[in-house]
Amino acid sequence: MGRALEPLVALTGAGVSAESGVPTFRGPDGLWERRRPEELANQRAFARHPLLVWRFYAWRRSLVARCSPNAAHLTLADIEDRVGDFTLITQNVDGLHGAAGNLQVIELHGSLWRLRCTRCLERWEDRRVPFPELPPRCPSCGGLARPDVVWFGESLEQRILDRAMSSAARARIMLVVGTSAVVHPAAQLPLIAKNAGAWIVEINPEETPVSAYADEVIRGPAAQVLPEWWAHNQGL
Ligand code: OAD
């Protein structure tokens, strides 16, 4: 492969996992027990109703555990294999990029498959499905565990955001796949890339704020159109 595509950066959102069966946040299946994710995925809700929030995550983990990577995830894994300078940035917490074979994934919003302590800084992997009925205790300090995901109203980890922003600023091409691009700071990444001169390719069946400045807009489901895009462009 030539170098015309490098550095290549992909930013993904829930739409990349839609065809794997993971509901998007703002789509019609995003509710759990008639509640919107925003009502449950926040610090206040966990402080007041830890078991309710825990059950919400137990449900999401069980759901995601039944899902497999789709052709869009597999294409991104192939891109990582073939493109020397490639960065994958995801807002998803489902772990499906890793399951597809991507080794270097910047997980902006954390992971469903890790827990962290609400008291100290400890983080640890926990892949049990189903989740235990009660949140476990931190192995270091005994504090209550919570999912290691970024909740509404919380800041992203600065080190991770810095990596994502500098990748965006270096990109020659940025693929923006399956994100509504309304949640900041992730939604700024395509704009940072654009302002630094990158060619922006949006893959999404619907219009988003990125559509207004994207150089190429491909309307369609990612599992179909991303492999097609890659087939046309990998020889460049
Ligand atoms: P959204 O649910 O906001 O948007 C999903 C996007 O995927 C929409 O633009 C859909 O049009 C698109 N889409 C649906 N099916 C698709 C398909 N088959 N192929 C491609 N695109 C498809 O999800 P995100 O943009 O990921 O944050 O949401 C961003 C953040 O909002 C999430 O990471 C989460 C949420 O709050 C946190 O939890 C911190």
What pLDDT does residue 227 have? 98
Q: Is the CB of 227 under 6 A from ligand 1?
A: no
Q: Which two tokens stand for residue 23?
A: 């509901």
What pLDDT does residue 34 have? 75
Cα 120 to middle of ligand 1, angstroms: 31
Mean pLDDT within 7-15: 98
Confidence of residue 32 (pLDDT cuts 50, 70, 90): confident
Q: What digits encode the pLDDT tens for the residues 216-230? A: 999 999 999 999 999
Given 73, 97, 109, 232, which residue is catalytic?
109
Q: Is the CB of 156 under 6 A from ligand 1?
A: no
For ligand 1, atom 25, the nearest C-alpha belongs to: 179
- Catalytic residue flag (residue 109): yes
- Phi, psi values for residue 176, rounded to 5°: -115, 105
Q: Is the CB of 205 under 6 A from ligand 1?
A: yes
Confidence of residue 37 (pLDDT cuts 50, 70, 90): confident
Cβ–Cβ under 8 Å, residues 109 and 146: no
> What pTM did the predictor assign?
0.96
Q: Is the CB of 111 under 6 A from ligand 1?
A: no
Sheet with 105-107, side-by-side order of all strands:
105-107, 86-90, 8-12, 173-177, 199-203, 216-218
Q: What digits encode the pLDDT tens for the residues 126-178? A: 999 988 999 999 999 999 999 999 999 999 999 999 999 999 999 999 999 99
For ligand 1, atom 17, the nearest C-alpha belongs to: 221
Distance of CA 56 to the CA centre of its chain: 18
Distance, CA of 102 to CA of 138 (rounded, Å): 29
Q: Is the CB of 27 under 6 A from ligand 1?
A: yes
Which is more confident, 234 or 209? 209
